[in-house]
Amino acid sequence: MLTPSPALSTRLRRAGMAYWVIILAGMSSETMFRATARSTHDAVQMIANLRISTMLDTVMICADIYVALTVYAVFRTVDPVKSLFAMVFRLTQGAVIAGSLMLQLAAIHAPDQAAWLMAAQADGYDLGLLFFALNTALMAQLLCQSGLLSPMTKRVLPPLLMLSALIYGVNSTLALLGSNFAETLAPSYAIPLVSESFFALWLLVSRPNQSVTTSPQR
């Protein structure tokens, strides 16, 4: 378990701010700019939207790296193995998504090839989400073990994260396999949006229970 302290609260708060950057930048990139780029027939508008989307995704990845490293630094005393794997899976997700952005940049420079390049970029994003599913499942376990959650939060947040991990894993696998069922399940991504927003809010405003004590390290 973790010992509540001002330094811990500061780390969690900063991670929460970075997590909100991830959510806002990622959602804006996908729903406002990349979606518009896919639907427009105007090459100039498509390129402009893809450039903005690329910059937002870059901001998202940078914030993801910060969250991955900060969460590892905080939770490694809870379970060093799980926290290490959680960090590696989150960083791998960021690396895969960054790699898929190369296809988006290629679409900017070859707009006549944008259709298949953006389809490949979407597959790369889904591949990254498979690693994120593993990270999310591990984070649910680490939060349960940390002793930082209030009883009510413990009953809600970890199960929501585990369900989100399942949704990410199943939906991304179906998408990579080319199943049309992936589109049918797309609305289920609302659950991960809620759970991650809840997690980000908890990081930002949580005040860990002062009665928690640290287990002795051997």
Structure tokens at 105: 């940049």
What residue numbers bound the domain in which 126 lies? 6-205
**Domain assignment present for 1:** no
Confidence at residue 209, expressed as pLDDT on a 0 to 100 scale: 56
- Check: CB of residue 124 under 8 Å from CB of residue 96: yes
Structure tokens at 207: 């005040």
Confidence at residue 217, expressed as pLDDT on a 0 to 100 scale: 41
Confidence at residue 203, expressed as pLDDT on a 0 to 100 scale: 94
DSSP secondary structure code for residue 32 in this structure: I
Q: Tell me which amino acid residue 73 is.
A: A
Distance CA 218, CA 76 (A): 13
**Domain assignment present for 34:** yes
**Domain assignment present for 218:** no
The low-confidence residues of the chain, meaning pLDDT below 70, are 1, 207-218
**Domain assignment present for 47:** yes
**Domain assignment present for 144:** yes
- State how many domains the chain has: 1
pTM for the whole structure? 0.90
Structure tokens at 32: 């406002």
**Domain assignment present for 173:** yes
**Domain assignment present for 211:** no
Q: CB-based contacts of 57: which residues, under 8 Å, 6+ apart?
A: 25, 26, 29, 97, 101, 104
**Domain assignment present for 109:** yes
Confidence at residue 208, expressed as pLDDT on a 0 to 100 scale: 61
Average pLDDT, the chain: 92
- Check: CB of residue 89 under 8 Å from CB of residue 67: no
Confidence at residue 3, expressed as pLDDT on a 0 to 100 scale: 73
How many residues in total does the chain contain? 218
